[in-house]
Structure 1
Amino acid sequence: MLSSPLPLVEVNPSSKPEAVVIWLHGLGADGHDFEAVVPALQLPEALPVRFIFPHAPEMAITAFGGERARAWFDFETSGSSAMPGIDRSAHAIKDLIQQEIDNGIPADRILLAGFSQGGVMAFHVGLHYPKALAGILALSTFRAEALELDDASSAANRNIPILMCHGQRDEVLPLSLGESTYRALQQAGYNIEWHDYPMGHEVCLEEIRIMGRWLVRVLSDQEISAD
């Protein structure tokens, strides 16, 4: 486990939150990276959601020649599936979930979101977690190949709603990586939705609007009108 809780950015609704989204940033970014996305999601006031954006710890990245960056795990460029540190970060994220449960938010009202490395963590924690969570929002990412589905999934989250979005021109994590994860989860019977967009390793406004509508549907079974 990490020796201390993850530092974080918190965006709270105007009324008492009824659900929580824990949003995990990508390699080299920090918790502020997706903070500005919250208003663009256009969530209704009737659905008060707290957003938590933790900062990943700084660590030496093997693929960067040992240069330090905020990351959820280390990795190499050699194609190795080993990801040192992933379990340590998973413990820290589970601690965040437990903290929200202790604050009165049920596990099934807590949703994990993640971009790139953060999405790898959202899958890793969400598919393992022993209590049913609200959903997994996985952006420009993939499920770690080292984790077999039969071993990775918990019975509590076999029906967890999943939204995957990916850029068609992503040069960091190619579209094929996301597509292979989507197909594997779909074939395994997961409740998963897929969207791809003519963009690189990033997010776009159309994607954010889709995310907002999906969050409303998952967290409240309501619909909001498209622009």
Structure 2
Amino acid sequence: MSDVITVETAAQPDAAIIWMHGLGADGADFPPTLPYLLLPESLKIRFLFPNAPVRPVTVNGGFEMRSWYDIISMDNGREINSHQLDESIIRINKMVDDQIEQGIDAQRILLVGFSQGGAVAYETGLQGSSSIGGIAAMSTYLPRLLSSLAVTAATSLPVLILHGTYDEVVPLTMAEEAKQQLKQTGFDPEFYEYAMAHEVSVESLKTLGSWISQRLSK
């Protein structure tokens, strides 16, 4: 399998969305959901779905799976391998830079991530060297305290948080904590709850699609 699955909605895209999958999944997880976004046909988007490396995951008994970083413990939020997270951030930042080099304006690049992929989207967008157009965080959490990071993003950066009220993998309280940290840092995230577990729903995808349209129809 390629390191990145690419889906383009037009011959010459002028926008890019880098969408990170969750723990144990892969880049093929989300391309089938694109029709549910109900995006305008006028948008010319390059969707990029990178695959995380295969590595042992401690909380899953050391079983090897695609993972953006090792999760050592689920106690008190998450205990993670920060070095591996930083490697993933460097990789996604490189993808952002590559899109800019190909002529796409940084403000027309969005980061989307589900669960562990959302954690990578958060930290990449908040610490990136380029002023991207927004972060969509789905069923996820902030893996490290914002106060411990070198946050470089302008507080005007659009942030969308989508979460299930029945999520037992990443409890709703972790999404609320992320929202609170963002607000304390000066950001103004949009926050939506859905009657779902650790998953996406048609309703949540419609919200994501509307947010993408707002960001890119300018």
Shorter-normalised TM range = over 0.9
Asked if 1:148 is matched to 2:133, the reply is no
Asked if 1:12 is matched to 2:11, the reply is no
Instruction: Check conservation: 2:73, 2:80, Cα contact below 8 A.
Output: no
Q: Residue 107 of structure 1 aligns with which residue? A: 106
AA aligned to 1:83 is N
SS of the equivalent of 2:55 reads strand
The structure-2 alpha-carbon separation of the partners of 1:150 and 1:69, relative to structure 1 and needing over 3 Å to count, comes to closer
Asked if 1:72 is matched to 2:68, the reply is yes
* Alpha-carbon distance between aligned partners in 2 of 1:191 and 1:15, rounded to the nearest angstrom: 35
* TM, length-normalised to structure 1: 0.89
Shift of 1:188: 2.5
Q: What is the aligned-residue RMSD (CA, Å)?
A: 1.5
Q: Residue 45 of structure 1 aligns with which residue? A: 41
Identity %, equivalent residues: 39
Q: How does 1:44-63 map to 2 (within 5 A)?
A: 44-63=40-59
The count of aligned residue pairs is 214
Asked if 1:196 is matched to 2:187, the reply is no
* Alpha-carbon distance between aligned partners in 1 of 2:154 and 2:6, rounded to the nearest angstrom: 26
Asked if 1:208 is matched to 2:199, the reply is no
Instruction: Check conservation: 1:124, 1:152, Cα contact below 8 A.
Output: no
* Alpha-carbon distance between aligned partners in 2 of 1:20 and 1:57, rounded to the nearest angstrom: 22
AA aligned to 2:81 is M
Question: Following superposition, which runs of at least 4 residues in structure 1 exceed 4 angstroms of deviation?
Answer: none
Asked if 1:172 is matched to 2:164, the reply is no
Structure 1: gaps (5+ residues): 1-5, 222-227
* TM, length-normalised to structure 2: 0.93
Instruction: Check conservation: 1:139, 1:165, Cα contact below 8 A.
Output: yes
AA aligned to 2:151 is S
Q: Residue 3 of structure 1 aligns with which residue? A: none
Instruction: Check conservation: 1:131, 1:157, Cα contact below 8 A.
Output: no
Structure 2: gaps (5+ residues): none
